[in-house]
Amino acid sequence: MIDFKLEPQTAERARLYHAVAEQMMRPISREYDEREHEKPWDFLKAVWAATHQTEPRVGAGAERSGPKLRNLYTIITAEELCWGDAGLFIAIPTAGLGGAAIMAAGTAEQKRRFLKPFDGGEPKWGAMAITEPGCGSDSAAIATTAVRDGDNWVLNGTKIFCTSGQMALECSEGFVVVWATVDKSAGRAGIKPFVVPRNTPGVTVSRLEKKLGIRVSDTAQIVLDNCRVPLDHILGSPEVEVEHGFKDVMATFDATRPIVAAMAIGVGRAALDFVRDFFKEQNIPIRYGTSPRRLTAIERDFMEMETQLQAARLLAWRAAWMLDMGQRNSLEASMAKAKAGLAVTQISQKAVELLGPLGYSRKLLLEKWMRDAKINDIFEGTQQINLLIVARRILGYSSRELN
């Protein structure tokens, strides 16, 4: 039985993070959307100081005591903070997707070694580099290479759309987890993750993307030119196992896709709450319990928005709960990600539509939320890829049989 009654500690944290979203994030949301790539250092340092000695941040993955339902706790936190501002949330110092990869693929010793710096000190970031110019949704087509040379691995290739890639390579003790192939002939089985710390010779940020939304968060292109890392910086085993190939990539996504779903839900809830308050101010009623044929078009649209948001939330909570219970959640993680990405895109667009010219105006944050929403339908696997995964899981087909 799935019980989503929150622990008192988790419920209290949710209220705390909502206050942070409302009082610290909303007031600077527009400013840092306009000033793309500039960092709100006062906010970032304050959040780091307040959180780095308590629970692990989203993606940090530190193994320490805390709430029993840690992943459920994480997505509730993500929803609350993305209600404030999704871009600022992504910009918060954490081990990020790199930390999630270490937790999914690393040994116990590697988890302690690479994640320990995130216990304190100055703000730090981790990042993950998987997407390439010739390899988008098909992560199995990775062309970046890793060749053993004595006591080192030598990495060569170009990675794009690396979230927080710049900060991870500039902050003290930051790192990027780079996915590269150790054996192209082995296909998916040859793809392995490598931890590349900041200041490693041969790794550079060559470009920052200018984006539609989440503009305060940096999205970097990273070039690896004979980048050398020690042998023990490969996460897990260096052996190529055909039967278990690519499992670490999938395990990482199983953990992070529910978080992305929660991010989407936070943005969608922000738009929905704003529309509800606007209707209340304008004395436009939403008549719950009324026959559908007696409802106005506005009422039907608003109720449909609420329904889709609640459905997405339940899928995300289920995927996170399964992970907390040690159950395989590949199907549920992809379902949550696909549903939430589509739902928030539709909800935010409908919210702008319902308010007409006001919704389109930059005087309100509504148009920003619509722009911020779309990325949730793209990163961590596009809508189409996640629906394909869902179909494969339900029908029992392999990637070769259904693509």
79, 80, 132, 380: the catalytic one is: 380
3-state DSSP call for residue 32?
Answer: helix
**Which pLDDT tens digits describe the chain residue by residue (403 residues)?**
455 677 788 788 899 999 999 999 999 999 999 999 999 999 999 999 887 654 444 444 434 444 567 898 899 999 999 999 999 999 999 999 999 999 999 999 999 999 988 887 889 999 999 999 988 777 778 999 999 999 999 999 999 999 999 999 999 899 999 999 999 988 888 999 999 999 999 999 999 999 999 999 999 999 999 999 999 999 988 988 765 556 777 888 999 999 999 999 999 999 999 999 999 999 999 999 999 899 999 999 999 999 999 999 999 999 999 999 999 999 999 999 999 999 999 999 999 999 999 999 999 999 999 999 999 999 988 999 999 999 999 999 988 888 8
Tell which of 241, 259, 274 closes a domain.
241
The CATH number that applies at residue 55 is 1.10.540.10
75 and 25 in a common domain: yes
Backbone angles phi, psi at 315, to 5 degrees: -65, -40
Tell which of 65, 98, 117 closes a domain.
117
| Residue 155 near residue 227, CB atoms below 8 Å | yes
Which residues are paired to 127 by β-bridges?
176
255 and 182 in a common domain: no
251 and 157 in a common domain: no
- What pLDDT is recorded for position 20? 96
Question: Mind listing the pLDDT tens digit for each residue in 23-65?
Answer: 999 999 999 999 999 999 999 999 998 876 544 444 444 344 4
DSSP character string of 120-157: SSS---EEEE--BTTBSS-GGG---EEEEETTEEEEEE
Whether 400 is covered by a domain: the verdict is no
338 and 208 in a common domain: no
164 and 109 in a common domain: no
| Residue 363 near residue 334, CB atoms below 8 Å | no
Alpha-carbon dihedral angle through residues 90, 94, 97, 100, given to the nearest 10 degrees = -140
- What pLDDT is recorded for position 141? 84
| Residue 253 near residue 333, CB atoms below 8 Å | yes
163 and 297 in a common domain: no
150 and 71 in a common domain: no
CA distance 278 to 271: 11
296 and 199 in a common domain: no
CA distance 184 to 285: 61
Whether 1 is covered by a domain: the verdict is no
Whether 56 is covered by a domain: the verdict is yes
88 and 128 in a common domain: no
CA distance 309 to 264: 9
The CATH number that applies at residue 234 is 2.40.110.10
Residues of the domain holding 21: 8-117
- What pLDDT is recorded for position 4? 61
Which residues are paired to 223 by β-bridges?
158, 204
Whether 187 is covered by a domain: the verdict is yes
- Mark out the alpha helices in 163-295 (DSSP H runs): 165-170, 247-281
The CATH number that applies at residue 297 is 1.20.140.10
Whether 19 is covered by a domain: the verdict is yes
Whether 282 is covered by a domain: the verdict is yes
Whether 2 is covered by a domain: the verdict is no
197 and 62 in a common domain: no
Whether 403 is covered by a domain: the verdict is no
Domain count, the chain: 3
132 catalytic? Reply is no
297 and 200 in a common domain: no
Q: Return the CA Rg of the chain.
A: 21
CA distance 52 to 117: 10
